[in-house]
Amino acid sequence: MNESDNNSDHISERASDQIYSTPQERIRDFVFDENVAKVFEDMISRSAPGYSTIVSHIGVMARHFVQPNTRIYDLGCSLGACSLVINQMVEVDGCELIAVDTSEAMVSRCTESLQKAGHRFPVSVQQADILELDISNASLVILNFTLQFIEKGVREALLKKIYDGLVDGGALVLSEKLAFNHNSEQELMIKLHHDFKRANGYSDLEIAQKRAAIENVLIPETSGEHICRLEKVGFSNVYSWFRCLNFASFLAIK
């Protein structure tokens, strides 16, 4: 997933996502297993408009917000795209990067990628439930398309824990697939997103089967819901800094 020149060879050799290319008699709920992990780099780049822009700008924001002698958390790190760009961009002393994912397959591949990239500062990759993770002394927390996979009833508690674990001036970057209040906008954004996927080589069968697999797993919310919740847990400055179709990213500062 990392778009840097240092990993260009890896990107050129990435496995193609064919998971939903043939008819499936029974479509199971989407899970981040080994089958997904090995094609995730291709899947996310062809499925999420603006993804590479979000990742690269997370590196820019990391350089701005990460403070000396603090921690950086990449929660739901998947293959480690954000961790890799943060590792490249941050130059302050004494910081530590903690990348966390529940998927064993993702953690294994993320660990390998970060080891190959080398570390400017201590980096650890953990297989853990972020709902149970202790967060403290953080100057930057990343939730890059992670919150949408967490049960809605516990999202506020997670964000409150993140807020409490941030130092003053620390920031949360929250990227999410969006829902919309008005049916006309919702339907249009879904159609345009499907057109985006078709333009990237996905067939109608793949789009339909992936949608059936993920619709009960990925639960999107509106921009207003995200902003209100971030303000409710304590963030005084919340900005919508990026949107492409129904994919967006927010910056919340303590």
Residues annotated within a binding site for S-adenosyl-L-methionine: 51, 76-78, 129-130, 144, 211
DSSP 46: H
For residue 119, which of 149, 146, 142, 96 has the smallest C-alpha distance? 96
- Residue 182 near residue 172, CB atoms below 8 Å: no
Residue ranges of the binding site: 51, 76-78, 129-130, 144, 211
Beta-carbon count within 10 A of 21 CB: 13
Angle, helices 183-199 vs 204-214, to 10°: value is 130
From the number of C-beta atoms within 10 Å of its C-beta (0-12, 13-18, 19+), residue 113 rates as: buried
- CA dist 162 and 99 (Å) reads 14
The radius of gyration of the chain from alpha carbons, rounded to an integer in Å, stands at 18
3-state helix, strand, coil in the chain (%, to 5): 45, 20, 35
For residue 239, which of 254, 225, 229, 253 has the smallest C-alpha distance? 253
- Residue 104 near residue 78, CB atoms below 8 Å: no
If DSSP codes are grouped into helix, strand and coil, which group holds residue 162? helix
